[in-house]
């Protein structure tokens, strides 16, 4: 129960931070958001970390020019070290998304409700890029 409360609180903070629409966010607010997202991504609770993968995709989509190298490093670690195959796969897809952001300009990353669809679209684009590279 305690883990669910922690998970919900961290996820809520991250999602609320991503919904800054009324004003252009300051660099300070973006830095706080980066810190919160990174802390969630590297959290010991697998549920928190797995949810954070989608949240950082939302971040990259909203702030494509921010330095996200620490996210890529954390994703690499998750992809290699995670015992959860689904989480490892999502981390690998997210890492490719971060490293090749221009490939995914048509992918709409809005709501956690379409998380599965987003990962399927990313995987499909990667597959088509790999197929095209074979020719």
Q: Phi then psi for 23, rounded to 5 degrees?
A: -145, 160
Q: Phi then psi for 63, rounded to 5 degrees?
A: -125, 70
Domain that holds residue 57: 2-133
Instruction: Specify the DSSP element, H or E, that contains 26.
Output: none
Kindly report, residue by residue over 90-130, the tens digit of the pLDDT.
999 999 999 988 888 888 887 777 888 888 888 888 888 77
d(CA 118, CA 28): 29
User: What are 135's two structure tokens?
Assistant: 């020719």
Nearest to 101 by CA among 49, 70, 71, 65: 65
Kindly report, residue by residue over 45-85, the tens digit of the pLDDT.
888 899 999 999 999 888 888 888 999 999 999 999 988 99
Number of domains in the chain: 1
pLDDT number for residue 98:
92
SS3 category, 42: coil
């Amino acid at each position: 129960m305690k883990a669910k409360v922690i998970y919900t609180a961290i996820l809520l903070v991250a999602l609320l931070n991503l919904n800054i629409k009324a004003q252009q966010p300051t660099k300070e607010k973006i830095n706080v958001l980066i810190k919160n997202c990174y802390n969630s991504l590297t959290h010991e609770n697998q549920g928190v970390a797995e949810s954070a993968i989608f949240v950082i995709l939302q971040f990259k989509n909203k702030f494509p020019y921010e330095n996200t190298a620490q996210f890529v490093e954390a994703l690499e670690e998750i992809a290699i070290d995670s015992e959860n195959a689904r989480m490892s796969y999502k981390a690998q897809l997210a890492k490719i998304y971060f490293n090749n952001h221009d490939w995914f300009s048509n992918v709409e990353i809005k709501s956690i409700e379409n998380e599965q669809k987003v990962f399927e679209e990313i995987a499909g684009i990667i597959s088509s890029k790999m197929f095209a590279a074979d020719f």
